[in-house]
Amino acid sequence: MRIILASKSPDRKKLFKTIYDDFEVIDSKFDESAIKINSPKKLVETLATGKCEAVFNSTQDARCVIGVDTVVCIDNYIFGKPKDASDAKRMVKSYSGKTNKIVTGVCIKYDRGDGIETKIVFSNTSKIKFRKIYDDEIEKFLETKEYENIAGACTIEGSAGKFMDKIIGSYHSVLGLPTSQLYEVLREENLV
């Protein structure tokens, strides 16, 4: 059976390697811009499903496709990828002294080659508590351009990690793939 990760994220690919050694990566090219949902959980599950379905429908025979999407939010206000440095600054400044949520949605769809399709959708929510972030620190962070193409403008693995006091939940989910939860579901379905 082909195992396919429907994601172009290098971080997800690296994390997915902890579950499977032999898998393919196919960019879904799914248009996320048309999806307007205010609930972070529903949004990531819808986007993950859209990515998964796009790749599943473009492939054939025995296959298992995994689609994933992550958003960052505070009080259910969703932070997408910043448009520019000014947008990234607004996001990082809003985290100062607060706790944000990282919500990751996963969709698994498979066909063992018998024409029977099975789909499973779930999400994982983790939290990051931020210390007070000073304006000069934000300016230095923006110079790194690490915010580009990153949901919520920063990642724990980058230089913004020094702003983060505590993680509550799954470290891997914060990075974009809840590997423990995903592995457990795949194991229950006899896919690992």
Q: Which two tokens stand for residue 107?
A: 């969709």
State residue 149's pLDDT score: 85
State residue 128's pLDDT score: 96
DSSP conformation letters of 73-93:
EETTEEE---SSHHHHHHHHH
Q: Is the pLDDT of residue 76 over 80?
A: no
State residue 103's pLDDT score: 95
Across the chain, mean pLDDT equals 94
The one catalytic residue among 21, 22, 31, 69: 69
Q: Is the pLDDT of residue 74 over 80?
A: yes
- Spans of all domains in the chain: 2-188
Least confident of 70-79, 84-93, 100-109, 174-183: 70-79
Instruction: Report, at the CATH architecture level, how domain 2-188 is classified.
Output: Alpha-Beta Complex (3.90)
E-assigned strand segments in 30-157: 63-74, 77-79, 99-111, 117-130
Compute the CA torsion angle 48, 50, 52, 55 (nearest 10 deg): -150
Does the annotation mark 69 as catalytic? yes
What digits encode the pLDDT tens for the residues 6-48?
998 888 999 999 999 999 999 999 988 888 898 999 999 999 9
Question: What whole-number distance in Å separates Cα of residue 40 and Cα of residue 73?
Answer: 7
Q: Is the pLDDT of residue 96 over 90?
A: yes
What digits encode the pLDDT tens for the residues 107-150?
999 999 999 999 999 999 999 999 999 999 999 999 999 999 88
State residue 67's pLDDT score: 98
